[in-house]
Amino acid sequence: MEHCGVARHAWNWGLALTKNTLDHNREHPTDQLKFPSAVD
């Protein structure tokens, strides 16, 4: 199952991006980052 490593890497990347965005927005309420979407 070689593809599981790639899926886990993609999941962890997305999770880290989300957590970093939430942490930044919590610490800097006046300078919030928006979440990336498919439209971006």
Task: Tell me the pLDDT band of 2, cut-offs 50, 70 and 90.
Answer: low
Q: Cα–Cα distance between 17 and 5 in angstroms, integer?
A: 18
Q: What does the chain come to in residues?
A: 40
Angle at 40 between CA 33 and CA 23, to 5 degrees: 20
What pLDDT, in 10s, does the model give residues 9-30? 999 999 999 999 999 999 999 9
pTM: 0.73
